[in-house]
A and B are shown apart, each in its own frame.
Chain A
Amino acid sequence: MARQWTMRRITPLRGIWRYAAAFGLVVGATLVAEGVYRLFDTDRLSMVFLAGVLITAVTLGSGPAYFAAATAFVIYDIYLVEPRFEFTMNSAEDYLVLSVFLAVAMLTGRLAGRVREAQGRAEVQARTAGALFRASEEFSSSDNEDAVRQALAQRIAEAGGGEAMVLHDSRSWSWPPGLAIPSALAELAARPASEAAARESGWRLRQLRADGVMVGAAAWRVTPLDDRPTDSPEDDEKLVYVLVDMAGAAIARFRLAAERAEMQARAQTEQLRNALLSSISHDLRTPLAAILASVTSLREFGDRFDAEVREDLTLTIQEEAERLNRFVANLLNMTKLESGALTIEGVSFGVAEVVGRVVQRVQRQAGARKVVSGIRPDDLAAFGDPILTEQALANVVENAVRFVPNGGRIEILGRSVGGKIVLEVVDDGPGVPEADLQMIFDKFFRSAATSASQQGTGLGLSISRGLVEAMGGEVFARPRGDGHSGLVVSVILPGAPS
C-alpha cells in the first residue's frame, strides 16, 4: 500500500537520458543504413535516417527530435554524401535533406508531444478523480474526526508522493505511520497563515478548516527520490488542497451532527427537568394544601366541629403527610440513582417479610382493593438491600392500586427460578396497551389511557427499575396470560447464595 504510487505507471525517461536515447536511435538508423548499403549497394538512404528522426519524435518529444534531426543530418552527410567521410554543405540537395529532417522532427515532435500531453493530462485527471473518490469514500465512512485526519494524511502522502501528517491539538496522524514530527512544524501548524513560513522548512502546510474553524493542519513533503509519480507538482498541490478541504468539510459534518445530538440531549434534559419541576410542584403542593387547610380548619373551628369531622381532618393530615413522605423518599432515591450515589450493601434477606411490609404499607391507600401476599414465610431468600427492595416493590404495588378498581385484587407471588428470585405483582385492573408495556418504566411516562385521577408522579415505576437494576436484578411488565385483564409486573432479584 505504502509504495503503491511508485508502480502506478512506467516511469518516463528524463532529461539527458532522452537525448542519449535519441542519439541511440540515430546510431541505430545509421547501422540499418550501413546494412542496406552493403546488401543493396544503394546510397538513397535518407529515408532510413528520416525514419530514425520520426521514431525519435514520436517516442521522445520535440527536443530530442531536433537533436536527432541534426545528428542524423551530420551522420548522413559525412557517411553517405560524396565526398564520403567528409562534412560538406555545398549542394542544394544537402540543404533540402537537412530541411526535410528538421521539418519532420518539428512537426512529428509537436504532434507527438501534444498527444503525450493530452494522454498525461487524462491520466492525471483520472488519478485525481480516483484519489478524490477514494478520499471522499474514506472520509464519509470514518466514524470520527480523528479517523478523517488519519485518512487525510494517507491520501495526501499518496497524492503528493511523499510523507504527510495531520497535526491537531498536539496530536498527530502521519503517513507512513510513525513519522517524527519536526517541532518547528508543530509550532507552525498551530498558527494561522503560516504556510509560507513552513515552506522554508521543506514542508508544505495547509490549514484544515471546518466551517471556518481551525481543526488542524496538514503538512506534506515531496520525497526527495526521483520516482515522483507525476510531472506536474502544481496539479498535485491542487489535489492536496482539495483533499484538505474535503476533510475539513467531513469534520464540519461530524461537528454538526455532534452538535445536533447534543442539542437534542439538552432539549430532552430540559423537558425532563420541566416535567420533574411540575411534578414536584403538584405532588408536593397538593398534600401540603390539604394538610394546611385541615390544620387551619381545626384551629379555627375545632370547637364547632363534631368528633367525626375532627377525626376525618386529622386522618387527612396523617394520610397526606404519609403521601408527602413517600414522594420525598422517591425523589431522594431518584436523585441518588441519577447521581450514582446509591450504594447497595447486599445482604441475604427473607422475601416474605419484605413483601409483608409492602402489603401493610399500601393497605390504607388500597382502601376497598385487596392486596395480598402469596409468599409463605421463609420460603425465599434474595440477595440485595431489603429496604430498597421494599421501596421498589411498594412503588409497583402502589401503581397497581391506582389502576385497579375498588373491589379489585392485587397479589404478590414469588418463586425461585434458576438461582434467581422472581416476584410478580399481579393485578386485575385494565392492563396496559401492548405498545406502552416497555415505556411504563420510563421516567414521567403516563399512558394515554390513564385518567387524571389515576395519574401518579410518573416516578414510581422508573425508580423501581432503577433500584432493582442497581441491585443486579431486572423489572418487566406483561399482560396476564390467563384470560383475565390485568398487568403482571415481574421483579427479578439475585437469589441469596446458599
Chain B
Amino acid sequence: MSGVLAHLLLVDDEQQILRALKPALAAAGYAVATAETGHEAMAYLAGEACDVVILDLGLPDMDGKEVISRIREWSETPILVLSARDLEHEKIAALDLGADDFINKPFAVGELLARIRAALRGRERRFSTHAVFKSGDLEVNFATRRVALQGYEVRLTPREYDLLKALARYGGRVVTHRQLIAAVWGPAAQVDAQFVRVLVAQLRQKIEEEPSTPRILLTEPGVGYRLTPEDEA
C-alpha cells in the first residue's frame, strides 16, 4: 500500500470517461478500480476494500439510485455521484438514499479531486473530534462556539451558528435543505426551504466578504449548500 492515498471505485458505462479519468486519479495518488455496471460495482465492493465510490447514475443494467441503496444496506463507504446539472431531483434522491456528495457533469479533474478529498475527510471526521474548522479567513471553534473572521470574532445568533456548524461538520460536502432543517430546527420540524434561504443570506452577511458572490458558503442550486473546505478556499 505504499504511497496509495486511497482506493477508489469508478463506476461509469462510458468508456471514454473512464479513459479520461483513470490517469489523473492515478497521478493524484489513488488506486483506481473501474466497473461498467451496477452489478459489477457491487460485486467488487463485496470483495475488495474501497474508500470512495464514484458512481454515474445512468448505468445500463440498473438505476444508479438502486445501486446506492443496495450498497448502503451493508456498507458506509462514501459515495460520490456523477450527475447532470439539470437533474436536481435525481441528486436529492441519491443524497437521501445515502450518497455523500455529487459532482455535475461535465467537470474538471481538479473539482473531482477536491470532492474525493472532502469525501475521505468526511469519513475521518466520523471517527475523530476536530475542534476547529477552517476555511480561508473563517475559523469555527466547536468547543468554545467561537466564530472568527480574519481573527476578529463574529457574533452569530444561535440558529446561524447551528447552520454554520452543520455545514462545517460536513466539511466541503453538500448538505441538503432537509438535512439543514433537521440540524437547525430539529428532525421533526415542518420548515420550508425558504427559511433556510433566509438564514443562509443572514449568515453570508456576516461571514462573506462579498455576500452577493459568496466564496465560503456556496449554493448547490435546487439541492442545498456546501462550505468551501479548509484546504480549497
The reply on A293 being an interface residue by CB < 8 A is yes
> Please, what's the 1-or-0 string for A62-98, where 1 marks a CB less than 8 Å from any CB in chain B?
0000000000000000000000000000000000000
> 3 closest A-B pairs (Cβ-Cβ)?
A452-B60, A297-B24, A289-B106
Please state if A453 and B13 are interface contacts (CB–CB under 8 Å). yes
Given A286-B14, A286-B16, A453-B60: A301 touches B110 (CB 8 Å cut-off): no
Contact A293–B21 (Cβ < 8 Å):
yes
Q: Which residues of A contact B (CB under 8 A)?
A: 281-282, 285-294, 296-297, 300-301, 304-305, 309, 312-313, 316, 319-320, 451-453
Specify the chain A residue showing the minimal Cβ separation from B14.
A286
Query: What is the CB-to-nearest-CB distance from B137 to chain A, in angstroms, rounded to a whole number?
Result: 26
Q: Could you jot down 19 A-B contacts, CB within 8 Å?
A: A286-B16, A287-B16, A288-B105, A289-B17, A290-B19, A291-B106, A292-B108, A294-B20, A296-B110, A297-B24, A297-B27, A300-B24, A301-B24, A301-B28, A305-B23, A309-B23, A452-B59, A452-B60, A453-B13
A288 near B106: Cβ-Cβ < 8 Å: yes
Let me know if A293 and B86 touch, CB within 8 A: no
Docked Cα-Cα span, A291 to B107, in Å, equals: 10
CB of A213 to closest CB in B, whole Å: 40
Supposing A282-B58, A287-B16, A319-B16 touch, asked if A297 and B21 sit within 8 A by C-beta, the answer is yes
**Docked-complex contact A296 and B108, CB < 8 angstroms:** yes
In the complex, the answer to whether B13 meets A293 with C-beta atoms within 8 Å is no
- Bound CA–CA A294/B106 (angstroms): 11
Residues of chain B within 8 A (CB-CB) of A287 are 16
- Find chain B residues with CB under 8 A from A316 CB: 16, 19-20
Q: Are B60 and A293 in contact (CB under 8 A)?
A: no
Contacts of B60 in A (CB 8 A): 451-453
Please state if B23 and A313 are interface contacts (CB–CB under 8 Å).
yes
- What are the interface flags for B200-222 relative to A under an 8 Å C-beta threshold, 1 for contact and 0 otherwise? 00000000000000000000000
**Distance between A255 CB and nearest chain B CB, rounded to angstroms:** 38
Q: Apart from A287-B16, A297-B23, what are 20 other A-B pairs with CB-CB below 8 Å?
A: A285-B84, A285-B105, A286-B105, A288-B105, A289-B14, A289-B20, A290-B20, A291-B20, A291-B106, A292-B106, A293-B17, A293-B20, A293-B106, A293-B112, A297-B24, A301-B24, A304-B27, A305-B27, A320-B16, A452-B61
| Interface magnitude class on chain B | 20 to 34
> A293–B14 contact, CB under 8 A?
no
> Taking the complex as formed, is B109 at the interface, i.e. its CB lies under 8 A from any CB of chain A?
yes
Contact residues in B for A286 (Cβ distance below 8 Å): 14, 16-17, 105
Q: Verify B24–A296 contact, CB threshold 8 A.
A: yes
A97 CB, min distance to chain B CBs, angstroms: 106
Which chain A residues border B23 with CB–CB below 8 Å? 297, 301, 305, 309, 312-313
Within B95-115, which residues are at the interface with A (CB < 8 Å)?
A: 105-110, 112
Give Cα A290–Cα B60 distance, bound, in whole angstroms.
18
Look across to chain A and name the residue whose beta carbon is closest to the beta carbon of B113: A300
Q: Which residues of B contact A301 (CB under 8 A)?
A: 23-24, 27-28, 109
Complex contact A285–B24 (CB within 8 A): no
Bitwise interface map of B from 1 to 41 toward A, beta carbon under 8 Å scored 1, else 0 = 00000000000011011011101100110000000000000
In the complex, chain A residues whose CB is within 8 Å of the CB of B19: 290, 312-313, 316
Bound together, the chains give a CA A289 to CA B20 distance in angstroms of: 9
A313, B84: Cβ atoms under 8 Å? no
**Minimum CB–CB distance for A273 against chain B, Å:** 14
Question: Of residues B13, B27, B107, which shows the largest number of chain A Cβ atoms within 10 Å of its Cβ?
Answer: B27
> Which chain B residue has the least Cβ–Cβ distance from A304?
B27
Shortest beta-carbon distance from A364 to chain B in Å: 13
Q: How far is the CB of B62 from chain A (nearest CB, A)?
A: 11
Q: Are the CB atoms of A290 and B27 closer together than 8 Å?
A: no
